Amino acid sequence: MDIALPRSRWRERPEGIRSLENWLLCWILLPNFAYWLLWIVGGPPRPQAIIVTGFIGILVHRAPFAVKFAAFLAAMAVSAFFFVSALFNLSILSLLHALQFATELNPAASVEYLVCGAAVVATIVAAWRLLRRSTILTEPTRFAAAAAITLLAAWFDVAFVQSDAGSYMRTPKTGAPFTSAVGGSGLEGIATGERHVLVVMVEAMGQPTDPAVRQRLIDLWARPEVRARYEVSSGETLFYGSTTSGEIRELCGRWGDYDQLIDQTDPTCLPARLASRGYHSQAWHSFNGSFFNRRSWYPNIGFSEMRFWPELHEAGAERCPGVFAGACDRDVPRQIGVALKAARQPQFLYWLTVNSHLPVLRSQRLGTRNCERFDATLDREFPMTCRLLQLFDQTGRALAGEIVAADFPATDILIVGDHIPPFFDRHHRTQFEPDRVPWILLRPRKPIADLRLAAAR
C-alpha cells in the first residue's frame, strides 16, 4: 500500500503538469539528447541552438500536431547548422551558401556520418510520436518554467564544454591582427622571377601541441634528402574559418572568404601581383572545381590556368576515396614536376590537397588501412591523428621524390595548413593548437646558375 499510493498520485498529477513534462521532453530533452551524449567525447558549445529550439517550442505549444512537427524539424535544422558551423569554423552564411554543393559530399563513406544520420532519423521518429501529446503551457508560471529551464540548459551546455570552446567558431573580429604564411615566410619578397614559386596548401594540417609531433610533421615535408638540397625554415600563423578562408588568407593577404570574389576581380591578390611580374599563375586542386565555385573566383584573383580532379585524372592521377573523393594527392607531385620542367617562364603554382579532409578513412586504396606500420604508438593512442599524418607522409614522400630530382627546376616551395583538423572528439582535437597552423619554406641551396631554370634562360 505504501508503494501503490505514491504511484497512484503520480498517475493522477494535474494535466497542466503533464503538459509541461511533455513540453520539456519534446523541446529540451529530445532535440538535445544526442548532442549531450557527445559531451562524453567532446563537441562545440550550442547555447544558441538550445535557446532557439526552446523558444520555438514555447511559440507553438498550443499548435496542432502538424505545425508542431514542422516547427520541430525546423528547430533540428537550425541546431544542426549551429553545430556544423562551429565544428568546421564556418559562419552560418557560409554554411548556407555551401548547401548548394551538398551533392559533392559522400557521407556513406564515413561511419561517423552514418551514425549521425541514424541519430537524426531516430529523433524524428520519436518526435512524430511524442508531439501528438499535449504540450500546452496552461499558466504563466509554466511559461516561466519552460523559459527558465531553456536558459538553464543553454548555460549548462556552455559550462560543461567550456574547456573545448577555443577551437570552435573561429571567425575574426573587426580589426583582428593579420598574419599569414606568405607574409611570415617572406615568400613574395623572394619571388623575383629567377625561380618558380610553389605553394602547397594542405587540407587539415594543424599545428600539433606536442613538440615531438610538431617536429615530426615538419620532417614529413623536409626529409633528409630534401634538407640536402633545400634550406628549410618553418613557423606558424593564425587561422580563422575553413579552407576557403585559409585560401583568402594566403592568396589575398586578408581575413575573409571567397564570396565577394565570384563576381569581381581583385588585382591585389598574390596570383595577380606575381602575374604582373611575369609569372604564369596556375591553380590546382585535387577535388572538383565547382566546389565552392573555385572555377569562378580563381581567375578573378589572377590565376590564368586551372587544373582540378578531371584534368588531374586525365593526366594519370588515381581516384582516392573519402567523404570528398578526388585525385590521390600522392599522384599530383609528379604532374607538378612535369609542368615546372616544361615551363619556359617563371611559374606560380598553387596546389590545394583534399585527401586529408576529415574524417580520414581506414582504406587500402587511400593507404591508411594499417597505420600501425606508420606509427604503432600513435595508432594505438590517437588513431585518427595517425591516419592524418600517414597521408601527409605519403604526399610529402611523393613531393620529395620530385623536388630532389636532378632536373627539377629552381623553385621556392611554401607548404602551409589551412585550418585545424576539425576532429569532433576532445581526445584528438586537443592534440592541435586551437588557433594556428604550421608552415614550412624550402629554398634551393645551390646557386641559381647551377639550376635548370636559369640554364633555360
Q: What stretch(es) of the chain map to CATH 3.40.720.10?
A: 181-456
Which amino acid does the sequence have at 134? Answer: S
Binned average pLDDT, 10 residues per bin, the chain of 457 residues: 50 74 92 80 80 93 93 91 78 68 65 78 92 88 90 85 59 87 96 95 96 96 97 96 94 92 94 97 95 94 97 96 92 98 96 93 90 93 94 97 95 96 82 94 75 50
Q: What is the pLDDT of residue 44?
A: 78
Q: What is the pLDDT of residue 127?
A: 92
What is the reported pTM?
A: 0.83
Q: What is the pLDDT of residue 451?
A: 47
Residue recorded with cell 508560471: 141
Angle at which helix 47-59 crosses helix 65-87, to 10 degrees, equals: 170
Q: How far apart are CA 452 and CA 448, in angstroms?
A: 8
CATH architecture of the domain 181-456 equals 3-Layer(aba) Sandwich (3.40)
Q: What is the pLDDT of residue 10?
A: 46
Q: What is the pLDDT of residue 169?
A: 61
Q: What is the pLDDT of residue 129?
A: 93
